[in-house]
Each structure stands twice: as structure tokens, then as C-alpha cells.
């Protein structure tokens, strides 16, 4: 088992946004509602994903840039430290709040994965130019979701509501978003010095 | 306002106009306008209420993005690790906050300039009422209020994650088809009568004054507390009138 020094990495992660997002998620999940639709869990997914955008904010980034550890490896370690607890929080929120069945659970999880993918893509691209780009991730995600609503439901790439084709289509589109996000993140994590 | 605050206001205002979030919001307004223009060309008759909602939605998005932009501007010194350095400047921190608050006027003025040709085009296509005009002014007031809210959040809760959270909170609590009493107090509430729309406008102005005072209060600016109390009073009276008028009995509200 390689020593990943995860505690050392965890010390440099800005945890406050994740703490705020988790606290708000607890309030949303625990809030008593007559008909618990998916809106609450969608809000939780957006909150957690937006807060996770700070994962790549590394105060020691400029110092570590000169180290032999590649930018991709450093970023993956940070993602491991941040997204494992965030993923567990999401699973807990799903379990406590409950859904209308397995298909809705799958759709909401695809949406969460899509939001995470987009967040990482935005953070990765911004992180190449700024050491602390996390502050710009949540607004960029907000703008992307706004932009998606401009399209008619048939073509909406990031659907938050119903679209023709139902839950299967929503799951498909968010899964595509997750994959595109992952590819953009990997592309943004190439070593700047590599030729 | 001090001379420094006015000078900073011009500088911050110009920076806000060039901010990527403000430019993105302007893009949403243009898309909303394009939808309205398309409707007016395709359909025989158009109505501001039925067809121009896309323009209103564009300005609402712009307001939310402007709020985040003002928040990021107010947190710039923290991001750059220059808070202590700025504390050594001869200009008081309240002047810098005042500059940020004055800077909000620039996006509002830019939105008014953007709105004018849209309004003139709409007037050439459909009959516009006094209520439509009030809704237009309300939209501009909303952008100003949200901009001030961004600064107030930055001063009291200096974390860049909170303005987007506030934006999502405002979206998720905005009035829909079935409204509860408290929806009348949403900044996004669209009143259905001239009287209510006028009171909603007063409510937004009161809210903006209260929030500006709250932002300055953090820096212990003179008369900031007076602004908070006055703004809260104005917003409170307007909110009371709106609630009594729009929600005369228990149950749903007409707003």
C-alpha cells in the first residue's frame, strides 16, 4: 500500500465551503415536507458539487508545481480526499430523504455525477491559470445550468426537470455530462511543461 | 460619501461591467430578447406579459450573476491575501465598501441602457401598460438590490461560496404558480396590480438601503445604523402593505 500522505493533503483543502454545504444539505434533507419531490435532493447535489469545486484550491500549489509529482497525480489525490466524504454525504442524503424508486435514484445519482464532472472540468480549466480558482467554479456551474434552460426540453443538455423520454433521457444526458467533464478535467491536468 | 469612495465607485463600476459574470448575464438578456423578437415576428399579436417573460428571466439571471460578481469584487483583497496591506492605506475600509456599493450603480445604469431599446421595440409591437413599466423599473431595482446584497454578504460572511448559495436559495424560493404568503416577500415576486407593483418597488429600495447600511455597519461607518433602520423600516412597511393587500386571508397569495 503506497503512502499517499492523504492527511497532509487534507490539511491544505479549504473545508469551510464543504462544511457549509453539508450543514445546508442536512437542513434540506431534514426539512419536513408533505410531498418530498426530487427538488430537495437536486439542491443538495448542486450544493455539494459546487462546494467540491474548491478541492483543487491548493495554497502550496506554486511551490509544489516544481516538484516531481505530476499535476494530475496531485489533483487526483486532492479529489480523493474531498470527493470520498462528499460522495458518502450524497449517499446518506439519498437514503434519508428517499426517492420514488430505483430509477429515480439512478437518475439523481447520474445528475450528481454529471454535476461533479462539470465542477471538476471547470475547476481544472480555471486551476491552470489561478491557484485559487474555487471561487469561480460555483458561479460558472450556475451559468452553465442557466444556459441549459435556454434550450427547449428536447435539446436541453443539463435537464433539472422533465424532458421528452423521461428519466432514461435525463440519466443519459447527465451521464454524458459526467464523461465530458471527466475528459475536460483530464485534458486540463496535463503537465504544463510536457512537450 | 467621501471623494475616495466616489473615485473607487467609478473604478469598481467599470470593472464590474467588464466582469465575465456580468457579460454572461448580458448574454442571457440578449438570448431572452432574441426569443421575444422571434415571437413578435412569427406571431400575429404579442403581449408583454405572455411573450416578454424571457427578457425578464434574462435580467433576473443577470441580477444573480451581478450579485456574485459584486461579492467576488468585495472579496478580492482576501483572495489576493492583501487585507492587512489594505488596512495600512490612508483610506478607511468604509470608503472602500462605499466604493463597491457605488460601483453597483454602473451595472444598473448599463442595464437601463440595455433595456431602453428593448422597451422601445416592444412598444412598437404591443401596447404597454403602466404595470409593464413598473415591472421594468422593478427589474432594474432588483439588479441594484442584488448587487448590494453581494457586497453585504462579502462584508459579513467573507466566503466566496456563500453568494452562489444565496443565488440558488433565491431561485428555489422564488414564486411559482401556487404561492404561499411569504412568497410575496421574494425579490422576484411579480405583482399583478399597479399598486402592488409600486409597493414592491418601494420594498426593493428599502431592502437595498438596509443591505447597504448593513455592509457599511461592518466597517463602523458613521450613519450606517441609521441607514439599516431606515431601510428596514421602509421595506417593512412595504412588505406589510403587500402582505395585507395580496394575502387578505389565510392560504394562497395573489402575487
ipTM summary value: 0.88
End-to-end CA distance of chain B: 37
Q: If DSSP codes are grouped into helix, strand and coil, which group holds residue A71?
A: helix
Per-residue pLDDT tens digits of chain B, which is 255 residues long? 688 899 999 999 999 999 999 999 999 999 999 999 998 888 878 877 778 889 999 999 999 999 999 999 999 988 888 888 888 888 888 899 999 999 999 999 999 999 999 999 988 888 888 888 998 999 999 999 999 999 999 999 999 999 999 999 999 888 776 667 777 788 888 888 888 889 999 999 999 999 999 999 998 888 888 889 999 999 999 888 888 887 766 655 666
Contacts of A39 in chain B (CB under 8 A): 172
pLDDT tens digit sequence for A137-152: 999 999 999 999 989 9
Contacts of B28 in chain A (CB under 8 A): 146-147, 150
Spatial separation of the C-alpha atoms in residues B140 and B112, rounded to whole Å:
7
CA distance A191 to chain B (A): 25
Contacts of A46 in chain B (CB under 8 A): 168
Spatial separation of the C-alpha atoms in residues A24 and B225, rounded to whole Å:
30
Number of residues assigned to chain B = 255
Kindly provide the residue ranges of all beta strands, DSSP E only, lying in A27-70, ordered along the sequence: none
The residue assigned the cell 445550468 is A145
Cβ(A112)–Cβ(A49) below 8 Å: yes
Residue B63 to residues A51, B8, B25, B138, Cα–Cα distance (Å) = 22, 21, 8, 12
Amino acid at each position: 500500500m503506497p503512502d499517499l500522505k492523504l492527511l497532509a493533503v487534507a490539511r491544505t483543502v479549504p473545508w469551510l465551503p464543504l462544511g457549509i454545504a453539508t450543514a445546508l444539505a442536512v437542513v434540506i434533507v431534514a426539512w419536513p415536507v408533505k410531498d418530498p419531490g426530487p427538488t430537495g435532493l437536486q439542491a443538495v447535489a448542486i450544493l455539494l458539487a459546487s462546494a467540491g469545486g474548491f478541492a483543487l484550491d491548493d495554497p502550496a500549489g506554486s511551490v509544489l508545481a516544481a516538484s516531481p509529482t505530476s499535476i494530475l497525480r496531485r489533483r487526483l489525490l486532492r479529489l480523493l480526499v474531498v470527493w470520498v466524504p462528499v460522495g458518502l454525504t450524497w449517499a446518506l442524503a439519498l437514503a434519508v430523504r428517499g426517492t420514488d424508486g430505483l430509477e429515480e435514484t439512478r437518475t439523481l445519482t447520474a445528475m450528481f455525477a454529471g454535476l461533479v464532472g462539470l465542477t471538476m472540468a471547470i475547476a481544472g480549466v480555471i486551476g491552470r491559470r489561478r491557484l485559487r480558482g474555487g471561487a469561480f467554479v460555483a458561479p460558472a456551474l450556475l451559468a452553465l445550468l442557466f444556459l441549459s434552460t435556454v434550450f427547449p426540453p428536447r435539446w436541453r443538455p443539463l435537464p433539472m426537470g422533465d424532458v421528452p423520454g423521461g428519466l432514461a433521457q435525463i440519466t443519459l444526458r447527465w451521464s454524458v455530462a459526467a464523461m465530458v467533464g471527466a475528459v475536460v478535467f483530464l485534458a486540463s491536468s496535463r503537465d504544463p511543461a510536457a512537450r | 460619501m467621501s471623494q475616495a469612495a466616489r473615485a473607487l465607485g467609478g473604478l469598481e463600476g467599470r470593472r464590474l461591467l467588464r466582469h465575465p459574470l456580468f457579460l454572461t448575464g448580458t448574454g442571457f438578456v440578449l438570448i431572452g430578447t432574441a426569443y421575444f423578437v422571434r415571437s413578435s415576428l412569427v406571431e400575429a399579436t404579442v403581449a408583454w406579459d405572455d411573450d416578454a417573460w424571457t427578457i425578464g428571466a434574462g435580467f433576473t439571471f443577470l441580477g444573480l450573476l451581478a450579485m456574485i460578481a459584486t461579492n467576488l469584487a468585495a472579496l478580492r483583497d482576501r483572495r489576493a491575501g492583501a487585507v492587512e496591506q489594505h488596512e495600512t492605506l490612508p483610506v478607511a475600509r468604509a470608503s472602500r465598501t462605499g466604493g463597491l456599493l457605488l460601483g453597483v450603480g454602473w451595472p444598473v445604469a448599463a442595464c437601463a441602457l440595455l433595456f431602453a431599446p428593448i422597451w422601445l421595440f416592444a412598444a412598437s409591437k404591443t401596447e404597454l401598460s403602466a404595470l409593464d413599466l413598473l415591472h421594468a423599473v422593478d427589474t432594474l431595482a432588483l439588479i441594484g438590490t442584488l448587487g448590494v446584497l453581494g457586497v453585504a454578504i462579502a462584508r459579513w460572511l467573507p466566503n466566496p461560496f456563500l453568494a452562489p448559495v444565496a443565488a440558488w436559495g433565491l431561485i428555489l424560493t422564488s414564486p411559482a404558480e401556487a404561492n404561499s404568503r411569504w412568497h410575496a416577500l421574494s425579490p422576484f415576486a411579480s405583482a399583478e396590480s399597479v399598486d402592488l407593483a409600486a409597493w414592491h418597488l418601494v420594498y426593493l429600495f428599502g431592502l437595498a438601503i438596509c443591505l447597504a447600511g448593513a455592509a457599511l455597519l461592518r466597517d463602523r461607518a458613521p450613519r450606517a445604523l441609521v441607514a439599516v433602520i431606515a431601510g428596514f423600516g421602509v421595506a417593512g412597511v412595504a412588505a406589510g402593505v403587500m402582505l395585507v393587500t395580496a394575502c387578505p386571508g389565510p392560504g394562497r397569495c395573489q402575487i
